Amino acid sequence: MSIKITIDGKEIETQAGEPLIDVAADNGIFIPRLCYMRGKPCLGTCRVCSVKVNGWMAASCATPVYEGMNVEVDDPEVKDMQKALVETLFSEGTHNCPSCEKSGRCDLQAIGYEVDMMVSRFPYRFTERKRENAAELIWLERDRCIFCQRCVNFIRDEETGQKIFSISGRGPHSQIEIDKNVADKMTKEQARFASDICPVGCIIDKERGYDHAMGVRKYDIASIRERILKGEQ
């Protein structure tokens, strides 16, 4: 059913029930995201896509549009909320961008630039989580995980449908896990896909490493905007 909603004062015609984050992107309005992938069910784990819906904060990835919805994206309170959420993710993990294999193609790094983050307002925890390298094709740098759960939900054994990744523990004791026996059945293409959909440098394809040398790797924020607005991410 065709409906009309308003985003930042702009009237938009769309279909009822579509995810708000997609409707915004289809109309050239960028909303940051880290856990959401177009066309995939989303748990709203990162909340970075939060916007105001009829005056209330809501995760746009988990909010279906409806007739008369009034959305605020370019709003000071929304921008500060998004920035605070990104700062929290940086402070909870260990993210040393210059030495990270994903630097220059990391979504968290890009969104950090997008929200104008320089340093987190929250104390850095530098939580130590033991890295995992037992799997044949996958290296896990657990300190970098932001618990988006993309890998948990979208990476499975192609024959049995069994999950390869999971999350164990709660709070500061939580960490990403990998089932080595199932992971060792992964094709090289599947390992690359797992590395690509990880929004940080937590899941590393052992055969890939660095795309560019240190000092050359720079993130072009326009590239992530373009990919999102084209529906490629």
| Helix ranges restricted to H, 105-208 | 107-114, 150-154, 180-183, 188-197
C-alpha distance from residue 32 to each of 87, 186, 229 (Å): 13, 31, 11
- Classify strands 70-72 and 2-7 as parallel, antiparallel or unpaired: parallel
In order of their start, the domains of the chain are 2-74 (3.10.20.740), 97-219 (no CATH)
Whole-number pLDDT of residue 127: 82
User: For each of the chain's 233 residues, which pLDDT tens digit applies?
Assistant: 899 999 999 999 999 999 999 999 999 999 999 999 998 888 789 999 999 999 999 999 999 999 999 999 999 999 999 999 999 999 999 998 888 888 888 899 989 988 999 999 999 988 888 999 999 999 999 999 999 999 999 999 988 999 999 999 988 889 999 999 999 999 999 999 999 999 999 999 998 766 655 555 555 666 667 766 666 65
CA 192/CA 105 separation, integer angstroms: 14
CA 16/CA 121 separation, integer angstroms: 38
Burial pattern 90-129, b for ≥16 Cβ within 10 A else e, equals bbbbbbebeebbbbbbbbbbbbbebbebeebeeeeeebeb
- The pTM assigned to this predicted structure is 0.87
CA 129/CA 169 separation, integer angstroms: 12
Structure tokens at 229: 């607005």
| Cβ atoms within 10 Å of 135's Cβ, excluding its own | 19
